[in-house]
Structure 1
């Protein structure tokens, strides 16, 4: 088996399929088939907007006019056939950002989506880009126990690809982890929405709105490619398993190459153009933090682009939960309006970037096309608000 030749043939075939896909996409654009208000308004970037839409669809009194059909379908399809628990409920509610009290240890916080009656609750934590908060699922699990009682609620954790929640979110005082159901936009929500389209067959406005939202989810999860072309690539991968194995084994090196070529190189160019120092010395250190500093002569501080770590001894080299913030020792520093959050360590502010990690293959397309520009746009806002020339 000539692996080098196989790789060459594999990529030739993939390139041919991608060229066909591009031509088909251009034809769909010409016909207006890719027109999508969700994308035009950049709604796909905001978790709260997704939560509001999903909660409305799950609400029997929602403006969709389909009663509890969508909620029943959610249990039948998305929740793995769990028996519908709201039969005969007249006091059924759907809420977003539901306030459960001030955060104190293992209680409190705001639930993204809560579907509830007096006897049962469906609690959904919706994570697209944001990081888990400390004891977040533990707090919501305790709310379910206290409000509905054991076995009278379901805690679900919804992410783009069905990721596990972090241990800091699920660990309890007894060091046990709370139970929850993993859900994904890529599979579970898509299958449910497709069923909702069928259920709304006689409501054209609802049906077409759902179709646009389905397109948005497919774009978010990189599934908007023609299904026939996807199957061709799958068949090709089956034909050349050695090539797929080689590529898979080098995923981290590929991710590093993509980061360097499409993100770090662009940020270096930006820093040079602005007359700033691009400091990546911590990245070069095998035991260093995943942090880039941008510094300006005469300013006692730096703009940081960094990745979280679960704890001080893990995740070296793993670019996950990306964020941008300001590290400044200036007395009386206040939070910038262009940054969403602040804490004692970063009083001038910080916020997460929309692409959650830079090692996952699902994010490679965004790392090539949009991540650097997103950071540059935010850097422009920060520099302008700081007033640094």
Structure 2
């Protein structure tokens, strides 16, 4: 086998398929078939918007006018034929950001989506994670709320992510050795299949049906499934014919991720810092056993802007960029939170927030790392610098 020749053939064929896909996309754009209000309004970036839409679809009293049909389909399709628990004559209520009390150890917090029925005494608890990382004991707190409110067998805790990831150990930490039980769901498969069923159920409601179709397209874009299915199958067939090439590429995933980070993220941020006259400190990047961290500093300012990653598992997380966030490490006494940053903590009183693409290791995020990550960070840096008033 001539591996080098096979690699050349493989990429030549992939390039041809991608050229065909681009031509087809341009034709769809010309016909207006890719028009999508969700994308135009940039809704796909905000977890709260996804939670609000899903919660409305799960609400039998929702404005979709389909009663409990979507909720029943959720248990049948997304939850893989679990028995429907809301058979009472009184329909359940659906909430977003449901407040369970102040965070105190193993209790409290806001549940992203809660569907509950007092008469059926059952609760569906959904933690929705698209970009943000887990909070400490987050699923543990919601699990405790479920047990206390509905009883040990009266609730289901769901962890929803783009690709069905596991929750972090910090999120499920308990005082005992017993693990928090939860069901993993993905937008890429479970939510898509459910939404497709919702489209069929809303066949006689054109506004609802077409809105769902646009949301489906948004989910496909988020999970990189918006390529024409025939073209996807061509690439799969090609990969089957060249398994050695695929194995070679897969084995070099870490190196590819590092190359993408360096070329399309780190270099762009270094150039930005140079243009602004800021110091760009990336010593941690070159240190495989150090924290993943980029630090931008302005001479004379007692603080720095940090781009870093949650240290979920120090033994295995060295060198990885997972659960990424941007924040301000300030030594200014009495510093107040900036309006342009969503969150605040004692360690970062001036604010911090998760990045839209929070995993610079996963192959699913390689396109975003090339096309949009540096731009997003630079836009946020501009907001921070402007609000700080630093020239």
- Superposed pair shares fold, TM > 0.5: yes
Q: For residue 343 of structure 1, what is the aligned residue in structure 2?
A: 345
C-alpha distance in structure 2 between counterparts of 1:362 and 1:285, whole Å:
25
Shift of 1:101: 1.4
User: Bigger shift: 148-157 or 187-196?
Assistant: 148-157
Match of 1:117 in 2: 117
Tell me which residue corresponds to 2:93.
93
Three-state SS of the structure 1 residue aligned to 2:358 is coil
Instruction: Select which of 344, 348, 369 maps to 1:367.
Output: 369
Contact 2:107 2:142 in 1 (8 A): yes
Q: CA deviation at 1:385?
A: 1.1
Please name the residue that 2:162 is paired with: 160
Shift in Å at residue 102 of structure 1?
1.5
After superposition, give the CA deviation of every residue in 1:99-118 in whole Å (9 maximum; x if it has no partner).
11111111111111111112
Distance 1:28 1:308 in 2: 40
| Equivalence for 2:48 | 48
**Residues 290 and 319 in structure 1, CA contact (< 8 A), matched pair in contact too:** yes
**SS of residue paired to 1:346:** coil
CA distance in 2, matches of 1:32, 1:129: 29
Which residue pairs with 1:171 in the alignment? 173
Please, which of 139, 142, 146 is the counterpart of residue 140 of structure 1? 142
Q: Does the residue aligned with 1:169 lie in a helix, a strand or coil?
A: coil
Q: In 2, Cα distance between the equivalents of 1:103 and 1:232? A: 50
Shift of residue 131, structure 1, vs aligned partner: 1.1
Give 1:311 deviation, angstroms. Answer: 4.2
Structure 1 runs not aligned, ≥5 long: none
CA distance in 2, matches of 1:215, 1:333: 43
Query: Structure 1 CA distance, aligned partners of 2:91 and 2:63?
Result: 17
**Unaligned 5+ runs, structure 2:** none
State the Cα distance separating 1:305 from its structure 2 match.
0.9
Task: Out of 153-162 and 326-335, give the one that drifted further.
Answer: 326-335
Which secondary structure does the structure 2 equivalent of 1:278 belong to?
Answer: strand
Aligned to 1:57: 57
Corresponding residue to 1:293 among 282, 287, 295: 295
Aligned equivalents of 1:290, 1:364: Cα separation in 2: 18
Q: What secondary structure, in the 3-state scheme, does the structure 2 residue paired with 1:155 have? A: strand
1:17–1:233 contact (8 Å) kept in structure 2? yes
Contact 2:70 2:198 in 1 (8 A): yes
Partner of 2:4: 4
C-alpha displacement at 1:313, in angstroms?
4.0
> Do the aligned residues in 2 keep the contact of 1:167 with 1:177 (CA within 8 Å)?
no
Which deviates more from structure 2 when the two are superposed, residues 98-107 or residues 225-234? 98-107
Alpha-carbon offset, residue 56 of structure 1: 0.5
State whether structure 2 residue 331 is matched by structure 1 residue 326: no
Please report how far the alpha carbon of residue 329 of structure 1 lies from its aligned counterpart in structure 2 after TM superposition: 1.0
Pick from 233, 253, 276 the counterpart of residue 231 of structure 1: 233
Deviation at 1:328, TM superposition (A): 1.6
1:283 equivalent among 285, 290, 295? 285
> What TM-score do the two structures reach when normalised by structure 1?
0.98
Give the superposition deviation at 1:314. 3.9
Aligned pair count? 389
* TM-score of the two chains, using structure 2 as the length reference: 0.98
Matched, 1:273 2:262: no
Q: CA deviation at 1:175?
A: 2.9
Mean alpha-carbon deviation: is it higher for 91-100 or for 181-190?
A: 91-100
Separation in structure 1 between the aligned mates of residue 107 and residue 32 of structure 2, nearest angstrom: 48
RMSD of equivalent CA atoms: 1.0
CA shift at 1:298, angstroms? 1.6
Question: Could you tell me whether the CA contact under 8 Å between 2:60 and 2:91 is conserved in 1?
Answer: no
Task: Quote how far apart the aligned CAs of 1:388 are.
Answer: 1.2
SS of 1:348's equivalent? coil
